[in-house]
Chain A
């Protein structure tokens, strides 16, 4: 067994720990820090240190070591937290990530950065608690990466002797362990039998770390480590490991930094217990599987569902004679197939929280850099999105958030002068709507400046006219090289980026909309289509053709009465539904369906909602509701206007899934409507209402 086999496990675990660490750091209330959180942060640092030491990642180990000590003081209340200290901690966490990445890529971490962060941490220790982190053994002005890590257990006394006792460990594992221990220090003697095997080890390494190494091969309760010098037994069962190690420490020479450690064994024991629990739970909670495999399963299950539907249909057509056992079997099959499909689909879906959770950090840092006060709210964190999309949305979204902070939200003084609260609001929201996923970045800043955008566009030689609709003007910010920022900051303003954002989102098959009101703020809305999902659909019939409407878009359906239909500007028709006038979209017109009902009062109006607007879709018949597997039309064909995707019905035929806004656009185009598109501004009220729901 080679220790490098465990590298990957360590990297993954460390990454998770760092993510936890960041989350807790961000949640920390500086004035009244939650002890549990502090403990969690400390534990994360401690675990990483242990692993780093085991694998010989010196720099990582040293950094985490300093960090851990500082955190230890923090959780004991000896170090008073301040915002800037938390910032430093966050910075340290980033540094640890970088180091981890470097090791993962087989590089050495950046030495300079390492020295800098060590210095910073030392500084905090010296200034805030008046002692340095490494214990009094060596005065450290700037911690040079010395050959020997300055761990507290090392002290001036040199290598301590420990007796490691192995209980019930087989011959093969014993040899391995002796070898491993040989790498940690000098094995002085070893001998014994299977029931009890003793190894005397001269090593500078912490009992904890020795235990960590051994636990790769044997269970923790098979190992006992005690200090040879004072003979104090320290059983290294997980629940007791920490106090035991701590208790052993004071026996070693000169250790001014940690005298309080022994005084608090009870608290530490608790921490250790929690840690053991977390460790035990973590092993079986997840496995890593390649996305290809998952996709294959999803496809196969999709096929299964279709076959099952076909069977179902055939059975239901059997004349009376159908065996009841067959029918029972069929309904069981149906239920199981659906359950299977749901479970399989959920594998790929991850909540938006995965994306949103990194924004508190981005906002905090950007706001600090810009000297602005920002309150970030996130909505719809549980909205699930396909993993591949979540990963790809992060960069564009980060860019949009930075942009909102930089250009959107004004500095506090300006806001006060404008009669707004000093603190700017930034909202990140996600929701499913009409078969799309809508992600919005909403700020209550100054809004876009139409005149400035137009002026800038002219300057850049873009073809613009004063008569352009607001919507078109807003879209100018996506033009390459376009920036109206008065000054280029390191946050944004270079004009690269927004065009990349747009391209990225288009690359995912989505689009970006901008809604802006001067003085009141800007909303940037990313609309992503579903590329992979099952959809609750409503099947409708027009002529002899079957279509699917996303059920989430359907609000209600009704038979239009003659007195509620109003003709408008030629052949446009609106339908009055409870004091609201909705544009009427006849599906047969938009999609050229032959043999459809043309008499308006004979049709059924389905009230649907797409991108914040409502429409009345005229269809011939409602057929029923069913779950459908969304199949991409673009895989082998191309985008079809008015259609978002396709699905396969129970009889094996293909039905198109309608895209409501696209349908409306299509029907307008058909009517050769030359009225300019209504700007978003007029729709603002409408949109807000939708958001509140």
Chain B
């Protein structure tokens, strides 16, 4: 009996995932915490010519050149300001390091599987392909971003597709 209980507990724990919650304007988003490498301020970004506007440029992260993407521009938010609160979440995606600019980071949440609802089919700016679901937390709704898919997608123009 004990063994079964333990196994069930372990399974439940395995399904409970932790997410880093960040804000873009008034909306709350979440990414898998395991993808996050660090959080730092927005500074010293070198512009890259002829790149899409949401690619702010590259920065030096302890000797590594890291591209910085502003998700607010990508998601067509009205207000894009850079101030003391602006932070960069540095994520690790498919052996690449990318920084994403967000308005703020609030907290780390643990969500159980039943708190994650499938994302509805919608979205012109943010295709539901790039969402792992919607997290419901009492009166809050978290948009859970599949950061792997999003950042390696063609429309982010971050990755060279095998060019002919």
Binds A, one of B8-16, B28-36, B152-160: B152-160
Indicate whether A631 reaches chain B with its CB closer than 8 angstroms: yes
Among B50, B67, B97, B160, max chain A CB count under 10 A is at B50
Indicate whether A635 reaches chain B with its CB closer than 8 angstroms: yes
B65 touches A637 (CB 8 A): yes
B63 touches A632 (CB 8 A): no
A648 touches B44 (CB 8 A): no
Chain A 623-660 against B: per-residue CB contact (8 Å), 1 yes, 0 no?
Answer: 00000000111111111111100101001111110000
A641 / chain B contacts, CB cutoff of 8 Å = 50
B45 to chain A, nearest CB (A): 8
Indicate whether A302 reaches chain B with its CB closer than 8 angstroms: yes
A241 to chain B, nearest CB (A): 54
8 Å CB contact of B44 from A545, A639, A653: A653
Binds B, one of A125-133, A196-204, A590-598: A590-598
A115 to chain B, nearest CB (A): 48
B46 / chain A contacts, CB cutoff of 8 Å = 545, 646, 653-656
B49 touches A654 (CB 8 A): no
Closest chain A residue to B62 by CB distance? Answer: A303
B64 touches A636 (CB 8 A): yes
A648 / chain B contacts, CB cutoff of 8 Å = 60, 63, 65
B60 touches A652 (CB 8 A): yes
Closest chain A residue to B49 by CB distance? Answer: A591
| A653–B63 alpha-carbon span in the complex (Å) | 10
B44 to chain A, nearest CB (A): 5
B48 / chain A contacts, CB cutoff of 8 Å = 637, 640, 643, 656
A20 to chain B, nearest CB (A): 41
B62 / chain A contacts, CB cutoff of 8 Å = 303
B66 / chain A contacts, CB cutoff of 8 Å = 636-637
| A636–B46 alpha-carbon span in the complex (Å) | 15
| A21–B59 alpha-carbon span in the complex (Å) | 52
A631 / chain B contacts, CB cutoff of 8 Å = 63-65
A521 to chain B, nearest CB (A): 29
| A592–B49 alpha-carbon span in the complex (Å) | 6
Indicate whether A41 reaches chain B with its CB closer than 8 angstroms: no
A479 to chain B, nearest CB (A): 12
A231 to chain B, nearest CB (A): 71
Indicate whether B17 reaches chain A with its CB closer than 8 angstroms: no
B60 touches A653 (CB 8 A): yes
B157 / chain A contacts, CB cutoff of 8 Å = 638
| A615–B63 alpha-carbon span in the complex (Å) | 32
| A659–B160 alpha-carbon span in the complex (Å) | 18
B39 to chain A, nearest CB (A): 17
A603 to chain B, nearest CB (A): 18
Indicate whether A306 reaches chain B with its CB closer than 8 angstroms: yes
Closest chain B residue to A637 by CB distance? Answer: B67
| A631–B59 alpha-carbon span in the complex (Å) | 12
Closest chain B residue to A652 by CB distance? Answer: B60
B63 touches A646 (CB 8 A): no
- Complex interface residues of chain A between 651 and 685 (CB less than 8 A to chain B): 651-656, 666
B50 touches A654 (CB 8 A): no
B98 / chain A contacts, CB cutoff of 8 Å = 636
Indicate whether A308 reaches chain B with its CB closer than 8 angstroms: no
A424 to chain B, nearest CB (A): 34
B40 / chain A contacts, CB cutoff of 8 Å = none
B58 to chain A, nearest CB (A): 5
| A543–B70 alpha-carbon span in the complex (Å) | 23
B63 touches A303 (CB 8 A): yes
- Complex interface residues of chain B between 63 and 95 (CB less than 8 A to chain A): 63-67
A302 touches B65 (CB 8 A): no
A639 touches B160 (CB 8 A): yes
A646 touches B58 (CB 8 A): yes
Decide yes or no: A633 and B65 within 8 Å by CB, A638-B158, A652-B60, A654-B60 being known contacts.
yes
| A633–B51 alpha-carbon span in the complex (Å) | 13
A306 touches B63 (CB 8 A): yes
Among A632, A637, A652, max chain B CB count under 10 A is at A637
A642 / chain B contacts, CB cutoff of 8 Å = 49-50
B49 touches A640 (CB 8 A): yes
Indicate whether B117 reaches chain A with its CB closer than 8 angstroms: no
Decide yes or no: A592 and B50 within 8 Å by CB, A636-B66, A637-B158, A639-B160 being known contacts.
yes
Indicate whether A299 reaches chain B with its CB closer than 8 angstroms: yes
A605 to chain B, nearest CB (A): 20
A604 to chain B, nearest CB (A): 20
| A666–B50 alpha-carbon span in the complex (Å) | 10
Closest chain B residue to A632 by CB distance? Answer: B65
- Complex interface residues of chain B between 90 and 143 (CB less than 8 A to chain A): 96-98
A634 touches B160 (CB 8 A): yes
- Complex interface residues of chain A between 221 and 272 (CB less than 8 A to chain B): none
Decide yes or no: A545 and B47 within 8 Å by CB, A636-B96, A637-B158, A648-B60 being known contacts.
yes
| A592–B50 alpha-carbon span in the complex (Å) | 7
8 Å CB contact of B63 from A302, A545, A592: A302
Closest chain A residue to B44 by CB distance? Answer: A653
A652 touches B44 (CB 8 A): yes
| A593–B47 alpha-carbon span in the complex (Å) | 9
| A630–B138 alpha-carbon span in the complex (Å) | 50
B67 / chain A contacts, CB cutoff of 8 Å = 636-637
| A655–B60 alpha-carbon span in the complex (Å) | 10
B44 touches A646 (CB 8 A): no
| A655–B57 alpha-carbon span in the complex (Å) | 11
A666 / chain B contacts, CB cutoff of 8 Å = 50
| A631–B57 alpha-carbon span in the complex (Å) | 15
Closest chain A residue to B157 by CB distance? Answer: A638
| A637–B56 alpha-carbon span in the complex (Å) | 12
A412 to chain B, nearest CB (A): 40
Decide yes or no: A654 and B158 within 8 Å by CB, A590-B49, A591-B49, A640-B49 being known contacts.
no
| A635–B64 alpha-carbon span in the complex (Å) | 9
A633 / chain B contacts, CB cutoff of 8 Å = 58, 65
B50 touches A640 (CB 8 A): yes
Decide yes or no: A635 and B158 within 8 Å by CB, A592-B49, A653-B46, A654-B65 being known contacts.
no
List 3 tightest A-B contacts by C-beta distance, closest first. A591-B49, A654-B46, A637-B67
Known: A303-B63, A592-B50, A637-B58. 17 other contacts (CB 8 A): A303-B62, A306-B63, A633-B58, A633-B65, A636-B65, A636-B66, A636-B67, A636-B97, A640-B51, A646-B58, A648-B65, A652-B44, A652-B60, A653-B46, A653-B60, A654-B57, A654-B58
25 contacts between A and B (CB under 8 A): A299-B63, A303-B63, A306-B60, A591-B49, A593-B49, A631-B63, A635-B64, A635-B96, A636-B65, A637-B65, A637-B66, A638-B157, A638-B158, A638-B160, A639-B160, A640-B50, A642-B50, A643-B48, A643-B49, A646-B65, A652-B60, A653-B44, A653-B46, A654-B59, A656-B48
